[in-house]
């Protein structure tokens, strides 16, 4: 069992109810219920709506995943769940469901970190992660450069965004251009028909005195918005495709340049890119080009595994079981700002046998 653990993963950090089932590094099922359409008319994710949608989707999505994997819940070796970071109410739905299943099935529970899960998902596509792995995680909520000597208990922050996350910037520029929500896919599509050199938008934190691995997208966002406003004020037509292409180029230029520099500085010959923005076609292409030039091997999961999903949580859970990391206690709580250095939330007792759930009284199960 230890080398090929069968684990179910639950992810509810934002607006996707994701349930994945993994055997070792093999993906057996990846079921997702998204509430993105419900949020679109508000132009962003509404936490309360997300939490309610998770509540409604949770059991059907778990049942769909079990059916897809062709297994019974009793066959599982463990239940993994995103314990943070994310929206507090949304996380709570996933954590509560995971506790209930772990308790009812008498299986160990693993509360894992959302960001470490984004890195670990690549194992499902390209096999075991090299150690150490350099990872660039870019999504709606995060832009981080991380060094992971051991994905189950040693992840080190190299750099992060000091203001907006990359995905957030995409959403805001899409709003400026009246392109709807979410902004990433539509900007990616329009940029293909635009000229990335048309407008010289600023590259944040690229000066010699700036932090080498940190990102900033707030100045870029303001610059694009002002440029568009000036065009409109002058009664000119806004070249939406060129704006999309030039904005996108400014973002991916900085992301890839800093990631490749970190690999060189740390002597790491692999770069893994994950998170929702890693589905962006220009980011993938430019990263490939720059990694080849630097002699670095690039690993990017397919787009469906880059956005939030349960498979990534199951992948990290399976790695926890395989490496014999301690399970979480059943009074595990969600932590909306769980630091990336906490790859998982270990239980207080480090000697968990499979009967550990019986020591828990039903009173504190909901504390």
Binding residues for substrate: 137-141, 171, 184, 188, 280
Bridge-partner residues for 109, per DSSP?
79, 328
Which of 111, 109, 167, 114 shows the shortest CA–CA distance to 139? Answer: 167
CA–CA dist 244, 249 (Å, integer): 8
Kind plus residue range of the DSSP H or E element containing 253: helix 240-266
How buried is 72 (Cβ within 10 angstroms: 0-12 exposed, 13-18 middle, 19+ buried)? exposed
Which residue positions form the known binding site? 114, 118, 137-141, 171, 184, 188, 280, 308
* Number of residues that make up the chain: 367
Residue 147, beta-bridge partner list: 134, 156
CB 271 within 8 A of CB 299: yes
Q: Which helix (H) or strand (E) holds 226?
A: helix 218-233
Query: What 3-state class would DSSP assign to 89?
Result: helix
The number of beta carbons lying within 10 Å of the beta carbon of residue 323 is 13
Contact 10, 39 (CB under 8 A): no
């Amino acid at each position: 069992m230890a080398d090929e653990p069968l684990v179910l993963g639950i992810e509810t950090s934002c607006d996707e109810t994701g349930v994945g089932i993994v055997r070792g590094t093999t993906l057996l099922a990846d079921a997702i219920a998204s509430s993105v359409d419900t949020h679109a008319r508000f132009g962003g994710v509404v936490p309360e709506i997300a939490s309610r949608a998770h509540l409604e989707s949770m059991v059907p999505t778990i049942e769909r995943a079990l059916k897809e994997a062709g297994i019974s819940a009793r066959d599982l070796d463990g239940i993994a769940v995103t314990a943070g970071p994310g929206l507090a109410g949304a996380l709570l739905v996933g954590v509560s469901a995971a506790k209930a299943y772990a308790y009812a099935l008498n299986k160990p529970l693993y509360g894992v970190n959302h960001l470490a899960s984004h890195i670990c998902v690549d194992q499902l596509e390209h096999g075991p992660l090299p150690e150490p792995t350099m990872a660039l995680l870019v999504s709606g909520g995060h832009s981080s450069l991380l060094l992971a000597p051991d994905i189950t208990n040693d992840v080190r922050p190299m750099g992060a965004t000091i203001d907006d996350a990359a995905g957030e910037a995409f959403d805001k520029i899409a709003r400026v251009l009246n392109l709807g929500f979410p902004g990433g896919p539509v900007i990616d599509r329009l940029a293909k028909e635009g000229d990335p050199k048309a407008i010289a938008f600023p590259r944040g934190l690229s000066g010699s005195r700036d932090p080498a691995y940190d990102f900033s997208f707030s100045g870029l966002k303001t610059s694009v918005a002002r440029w568009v406003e000036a065009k409109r004020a002058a009664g000119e037509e806004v070249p939406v495709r060129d704006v999309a292409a030039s904005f996108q180029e400014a973002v991916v230029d900085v992301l890839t340049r800093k990631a490749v520099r970190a690999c060189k500085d740390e002597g790491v010959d692999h770069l893994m890119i994950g998170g929702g923005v890693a589905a962006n076609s220009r980011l993938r292409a430019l990263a490939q080009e720059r990694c080849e030039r630097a002699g670095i091997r690039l690993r990017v999961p397919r787009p469906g595994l880059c956005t939030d999903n349960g498979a990534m949580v199951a992948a990290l859970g399976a790695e926890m079981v395989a490496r014999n990391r301690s399970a979480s206690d059943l009074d595990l709580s969600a932590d909306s700002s769980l630091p990336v250095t906490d790859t998982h939330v270990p239980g207080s007792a480090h000697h968990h046998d499979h009967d550990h759930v019986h020591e828990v009284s039903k009173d504190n199960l909901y504390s």
